[in-house]
C-alpha cells in the first residue's frame, strides 16, 4: 500500500541554523509534491509545490528538493526563526484529485 513517512515526529534546532525535514514515500509515483505548514488549532497552509521533473524549488528561506529515484523530498528552512516553529506536512498526488499526506514533523526552533 502507499505510504508516506516524514523523518521524525519532532525536530528541535537552534535559531539561525538550517532545518532539514524529510519526506519518504513507497509504492507510489507522484507527479507533484507539496509542502504545508500547520499551526496548532489551524488548518494546513500551502508553502511550496515541486513537480516530478524538477529537482529543486526555492521561495525566500525555503528550499525543496525532489528525488524520484530515492523516492524522497527534502524541505529546508535556512536561518530558522522561532516563528518557523510549526508542524510541516508533505503531500503527494499522482495527478488525480487524491492527495496523500505524510505523518508530519513538528519543528521547534529554539531562541
Partner 1 sequence: DTAVSQTPKYLVTQMGNDKSIKCEQNLGHDTMYWYKQDSKKFLKIMFSYNNKELIINETVPNRFSPKSPDKAHLNLHINSLELGDSAVYFCASSQTSPGQTGNQPQHFGDGTRLSIL
* Interatomic CA distance for residues 95 and 15, integer angstroms: 37
C-alpha cell at 110: 529554539
Q: Which of 65, 73, 80, 87 binds partner 1 (CB under 8 A)?
A: 87
Least gap, CB of 6 to partner 1 (angstroms): 11
* 13 vs 49, beta carbon nearer partner 1: 49
**Among 16-24, 26-34, 56-64, 69-77, which window interacts with partner 1 (CB under 8 A)?**
26-34
Structural contact between residues 7 and 13, judged by C-beta atoms closer than 8 angstroms? no
Cβ pair 39, 59 in contact under 8 A: no
How many Å apart are CA 108 and CA 8, to the nearest integer?
12
Q: How far apart are CA 6 and CA 103, in angstroms?
A: 6
* By the rule CB under 8 A, 85 interacts with partner 1: no
Q: Which range in 15-23, 60-68, 72-80, 99-107 contacts partner 1 by CB under 8 A?
A: 99-107
> Using the rule CB under 8 A, which residue among 1, 27, 53, 98 binds partner 1?
98
Q: How far apart are CA 101 and CA 80, in angstroms?
A: 24
Q: Which is nearer to partner 1, 17 or 59 (CB)?
A: 59
Query: Could you tell me the smallest distance in angstroms from the CB atom of residue 59 to partner 1?
Result: 12
Amino acid at each position: 500500500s502507499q505510504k508516506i513517512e516524514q523523518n521524525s515526529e519532532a525536530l528541535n534546532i537552534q535559531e539561525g541554523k538550517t532545518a532539514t525535514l524529510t519526506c519518504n514515500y513507497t509504492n507510489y509515483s507522484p507527479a507533484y509534491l507539496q509542502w504545508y505548514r500547520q499551526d496548532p488549532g489551524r488548518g494546513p497552509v500551502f508553502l511550496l509545490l515541486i513537480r516530478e521533473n524538477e529537482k529543486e524549488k526555492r521561495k525566500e528561506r525555503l528550499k525543496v528538493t525532489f528525488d524520484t529515484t530515492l523516492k524522497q523530498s527534502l524541505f529546508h528552512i535556512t536561518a530558522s526563526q522561532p516563528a518557523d516553529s510549526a508542524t510541516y506536512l508533505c503531500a503527494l498526488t499522482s495527478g488525480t484529485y487524491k492527495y496523500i499526506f505524510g505523518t508530519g514533523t513538528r519543528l521547534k526552533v529554539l531562541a
